[in-house]
């Protein structure tokens, strides 16, 4: 058995987090180091390391994560404008290798992203 990821430990309540949404397939909690007034992470219960590791069998789960991200933004009052980000790989800024969708809102966002 491979070691549990940090986010699995949050899902299993071994590590505390401010959980703001939960369903059968995913959980969302506030980012510990927010990059915007609202910054949450939507995390599948399935510990896929990266979005690039997903297969066609995960298509429904990936769609579910986007729908959940929209719900999370809407529930927080930011349904009109939010930024989603998924970092894939260390060079792209990924630090936790359990797939997650960043939901950022509450300020203006530039393009291209840094
Ligand atoms: P990434 O760099 O895309 O892998 O994103 C990982 C995110 O997880 C970062 O934004 C971190 O601030 C966040 N993070 C790390 N540890 C925790 C934690 N214990 N609770 C909530 N967010 C965390």
pLDDT band (50, 70, 90) for residue 61: very high
28 phi and psi angles, rounded to 5 deg: -135, 140
Query: What residue's CA is closest to ligand 1, atom 13?
Result: 31
Residue among 7, 9, 27, 33 to mutate when testing ligand 1 (max atoms within 8 A of CB):
33
Domain ranges of the chain: 6-105
- For the stretch 3-41, pLDDT in tens is 999 999 999 999 999 999 999 999 999 999 999 999 999
pLDDT above 90 for 44: yes
Which atom of ligand 1 is found nearest the CA of 94?
Answer: 4
pLDDT given for residue 71 in this prediction: 98
54 touches 99 (CB < 8 A): yes
Q: How do residues 62-92 score in pLDDT, each as one tens digit?
A: 999 999 999 999 999 999 999 999 999 999 9
CA 111 – CA 39 distance, rounded (Å):
18
**Residue 2: what pLDDT?**
75
User: Ligand 1, atom 18: nearest CA belongs to which residue?
Assistant: 32
CATH of 6-105, one of 3.30.428.10, 3.40.50.620, 3.30.505.50, 3.90.1150.10: 3.30.428.10
User: Does the annotation count 102 as an active-site position?
Assistant: no
How far, in Å, CA of 105 to CA of 12, rounded?
27
How high is the mean pLDDT of the chain?
A: 97
1 pLDDT above the threshold of 60: no
């Amino acid at each position: 058995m491979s070691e549990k990821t940090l986010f699995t430990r949050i899902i299993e309540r071994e590590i505390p987090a401010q959980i703001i949404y939960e369903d059968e397939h995913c959980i969302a909690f506030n980012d510990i180091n927010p990059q915007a007034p609202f910054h949450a992470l939507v995390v599948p219960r399935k510990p896929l390391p990266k979005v690039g590791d997903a297969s066609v069998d995960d298509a429904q789960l990936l769609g579910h994560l986007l729908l959940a991200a929209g719900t999370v933004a809407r529930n927080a009052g930011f349904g009109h404008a939010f930024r989603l980000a998924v970092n894939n790989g260390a060079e792209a800024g990924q630090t936790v290798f359990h797939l997650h969708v960043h939901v950022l809102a509450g300020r203006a966002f530039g393009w291209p992203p840094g």
